[in-house]
Structure 1
Amino acid sequence: MTADRLPEPVRSALGRVNHGVLVDFAELEAVRRRFDEDQASSLAAYLHAAQSPNTLRAYRSDWVAWSAWCAAEGRTSLPADPLDVAVYLATAADTLKPDGAPAFSPSTLDRKSAAIAAVHAANGLPSPTRSDVVRLTLRGIRRARRSLPRRKRPVLLQTLEALLAERPEPGWPTGVARRRDALLLLVGFAGALRRGELAGLALEDVTVDVDARSGEPLLLVGLGVTKTDQTGQHQQRVVLPRGSRRPTCPVCAFADWVDLLEVHREGGHAALLELLSAESAAEPSVHRCHTYRQPASARGPLFPSVSRHGRLGAVPMSGRAVADLVQRYAERAGLDPTLFGGHSLRAGFATQAALGGASDREIMRQGRWVNPRTVHRYIRTANPLEDNAVTRLGL
């Protein structure tokens, strides 16, 4: 819920201070009382840059909910009393959906607590969430639930091929989404990318290169700010080799997509229509990546939005749109779409690589995991008997 959707009495009760802080730390009242407008604005800008846009959106929503609860209960949201925060989290934990299921997962309640802490930090105030009463309340909620986190099902290679088979038909206007979605699925799977990383890619982030040992073409995909590199200082990148078959070759998919974007850039919508109208319905089987030369002028989002009429948007897809795309193709392939999402591609890479005999180190390098325990979960999913002493019991 956003601030403008709150009931008028609640919105009025929030007051200027609370509303200003919840928007995006743009009105830091404690700062403005001591410093001039330029100094306060500079601080607000850097505090805003400290978090990803997705995190900020979630924190805004969480802060609105917390402020509304305080207004309704006659409590103070900033600075907050730790006991008030604990009661708020306990109340939220007991909130149920119409079907009787909990409205908020333990991880969501952790995020609500983090949002309250972030706003206090932005105002130079001690965090109420560090108190024992809040920490013990969250621990009690997790123990009371005693449920494993719901993880999306991994897209394995066989599933990936099934998703690719459900893309729209070649030709106009569906050929635009067909080419874009092929590249998105292959890059997300082979690159072990998160949905936000996929959505944030630009054309200039991808370079066609050649493997010095084999002479085979490959893609180098540069990543900016990532979950494990919030400042982008390490300049992480992943390499995508040429596929053994044309339909699953990331380099060929990139060449097909960039050719389409270049035609659109030079000739507009009419040129795009002409290109795809002459496109054959037969799936090409011959690799083209050995002869492909990447245009130097390629710029803009790698995965822009595409309308059902084949028109390319100027803005990139969102992370939510990436997840919806995976679910849509899963449903077309006869799979339960609720079991899949944007993370299914990244999870599929780790699981498929483990099935193929890749080591922990190899999987962690491509997926940029820093905690081996995360990778071990995927390996156990892929082959629970691998390196397991139960096979030596002689049963």
Structure 2
Amino acid sequence: MGRAVEKRSGIPATASFGSVVPRSSEAAVPPARQQLSQAALAAMAKGVPAATARGYRGDWARFEEWALAAGLCPLPATGETLTEYVTWCTLTPRPRTGRPYKPSSIDRAMAAVAVAHQAAGLPQPSQTGARLVLRGYEAELKTTKDPRGKVRKATAATPRVLRQMIAATDTGTLIGARDAAALTNGFALAARSSEAALLDWEDAAEADDDQGLLYDLYRPKVTNDQPLGVPYGSYASTCPVRTLRTYRQALLDHGHKPTGPMFVRIDRHGRINPPMFRDGRRIGDPSGRMTAEGIADIVTRAAARAGLAVRPDRLFPEGTPRWTGHALRRGYAEATRHAKKDPLEAARHGGWADGSRAFAGYHDRAAAFDEELNPLYGIGL
């Protein structure tokens, strides 16, 4: 793999963001560089979102395995080693898919290597060569129209789509009432699945003069906390205020006091917080709180019930829809663009930073035939 075997050095696995750095490293960090305490490293790890940390751990493990097999040092790695690894990623089929990595996956792998070095207090390897390889790979995928060259986004669950989802949901059942409340309130708050999972009943309060609900929503990626107003909707079926009240009353009718987690596990028999076991031991939050994955599954199942899961049509010209928990967040962004809401206020309500490129990216379809944004309108064509 190009270079001679490099001397292995580094720090133990515990000195990293959620154990991004493995235990294979043996030699000590150079004496001139101070090694962070375990308390400082643990505090740093809290600043990395759990999902990101999990991804980085997997990415680092793959990079380390490749480097050691190639006789190269993973920590500290050189720019040449990183360039060789990125090249390998663009050429080697993955066992699960039979195709090389997508550009976005490679980009995250490079970030994981950088984070591991940062956590170890070591200089990050140069990314110049690796970036050139990745840029050429992206250009090749686009030229050949390979689907891996496109970033797959969740399909937008706009209000029109929400009405289809809820129309196919039996809201007369406890689980149906919960799903309707999760769909409508997730949309109204533009909440990530992880944010919706953290909601407690105490986070929602009735606004003065019965104007709707005031939410105190925790957004890990946003520093400014402010109450979010959720007014009544125009349609009873998709009104977040009414669906949440219906869900709350359904819980009371089943003898469950609405305190603590707002969205709780419910099985098809209507049992709240049913016991779950894996390998003979009980799993799941004892309070019944749903996970982020569970919240996302609500969207996926609702789309399947409504026949939207595998039906490409004029609503979804990009092909087979992709219904994930992010569908509600993207649907909110597109709906606010269609309604010509102030993009700055719409972004702030949804927890995007001012000038967010991610928020602007969600407007791609909504802006395609906007007379104010499409330059072909009104030019005499």
TM-score, normalised to structure 1, is 0.75
- Structure 1 residue aligned with 2:192: 194
- Structure 1 residue aligned with 2:215: 221
1:132 aligns with 2:128: yes
- Contact 1:106 / 1:142 at 8 angstroms: preserved in 2? yes
Deviation sequence 1:210-241 (CA, Å, 0-9, x none): 2xxxx3432222232433x2xxx421443211
1:390 aligns with 2:376: yes
1:250 aligns with 2:240: yes
- Structure 1 residue aligned with 2:161: 159
Q: Distance in 2 between matches of 1:87 and 1:136?
A: 12
Q: Distance in 2 between matches of 1:302 and 1:193?
A: 14
Q: Distance in 2 between matches of 1:185 and 1:131?
A: 42
**In the alignment, which of 8, 24, 29 is matched to residue 18 of structure 2?**
24
Match of 2:164, as an amino acid?
A: A
- Contact 1:22 / 1:63 at 8 angstroms: preserved in 2? no
1:58 aligns with 2:48: no
- Contact 1:26 / 1:41 at 8 angstroms: preserved in 2? no
- Structure 1 residue aligned with 2:140: 144
Deviation sequence 1:306-355 (CA, Å, 0-9, x none): 23333333243222222222122112211135522111111111212222
1:308 aligns with 2:268: yes
Q: Distance in 1 between matches of 2:188 and 2:304?
A: 22
- Structure 2 residue aligned with 1:83: 80
- Structure 2 residue aligned with 1:336: 309
1:206 aligns with 2:166: no
Residues 232-311 of structure 1: pairs in structure 2 closer than 5 A: 233-261=223-251, 271=255, 299-311=259-271
Deviation sequence 1:26-85 (CA, Å, 0-9, x none): 989868x99999x72211211211101111111111111112112222221111122112
Match of 1:217, as an amino acid?
A: Q
Match of 1:156, as an amino acid?
A: T
- Contact 1:219 / 1:239 at 8 angstroms: preserved in 2? yes
Bigger drift between 306-315 and 55-64 goes to: 306-315
Give 1:256 deviation, angstroms. 2.5
Residue 168 to residue 22, structure 1, CA distance change in 2 (3 Å): farther
Q: Secondary structure at the match of 2:205?
A: strand
1:356 aligns with 2:342: no
Bigger drift between 116-125 and 328-337 goes to: 328-337
Normalized per residue, the structure richer in helix is 1
**In the alignment, which of 291, 302, 319 is matched to residue 318 of structure 1?**
291
Task: Give aligned pairs, total.
Answer: 338
Residue 119 to residue 389, structure 1, CA distance change in 2 (3 Å): closer
Residue 45 to residue 315, structure 1, CA distance change in 2 (3 Å): farther
Give 1:154 deviation, angstroms. 0.6
- Contact 1:155 / 1:345 at 8 angstroms: preserved in 2? yes
- Contact 1:208 / 1:251 at 8 angstroms: preserved in 2? no
Deviation sequence 1:133-155 (CA, Å, 0-9, x none): 23323333333323331222211
Residue 22 to residue 77, structure 1, CA distance change in 2 (3 Å): farther
Q: Secondary structure at the match of 1:219?
A: strand
Match of 2:365, as an amino acid?
A: T
Q: Distance in 1 between matches of 2:241 and 2:376?
A: 42
- Contact 1:207 / 1:220 at 8 angstroms: preserved in 2? yes
Give 1:209 deviation, angstroms. 1.2
Residue 168 to residue 23, structure 1, CA distance change in 2 (3 Å): farther
- Structure 2 residue aligned with 1:182: 180
Give 1:17 deviation, angstroms. 5.1
Residue 331 to residue 95, structure 1, CA distance change in 2 (3 Å): farther
Q: Secondary structure at the match of 2:214?
A: strand
Give 1:394 deviation, angstroms. 2.2
Residue 125 to residue 247, structure 1, CA distance change in 2 (3 Å): same
- Structure 2 residue aligned with 1:283: none
Q: Distance in 2 between matches of 1:339 and 1:140?
A: 28
Q: Secondary structure at the match of 1:54?
A: helix
Residue 179 to residue 164, structure 1, CA distance change in 2 (3 Å): same
Give 1:131 deviation, angstroms. 3.5
Bigger drift between 360-369 and 373-382 goes to: 373-382
Give 1:244 deviation, angstroms. 2.8
Percent identity among equivalent residues?
30
Q: Secondary structure at the match of 2:340?
A: coil
Give 1:21 deviation, angstroms. 5.2
- Contact 1:218 / 1:239 at 8 angstroms: preserved in 2? yes
Q: Distance in 1 between matches of 2:16 and 2:69?
A: 17
Deviation sequence 1:115-174 (CA, Å, 0-9, x none): 11111111111111x44223323333333323331222211212101111222462xxxx
Q: Secondary structure at the match of 1:246?
A: coil
- Contact 2:337 / 2:366 at 8 angstroms: preserved in 1? yes
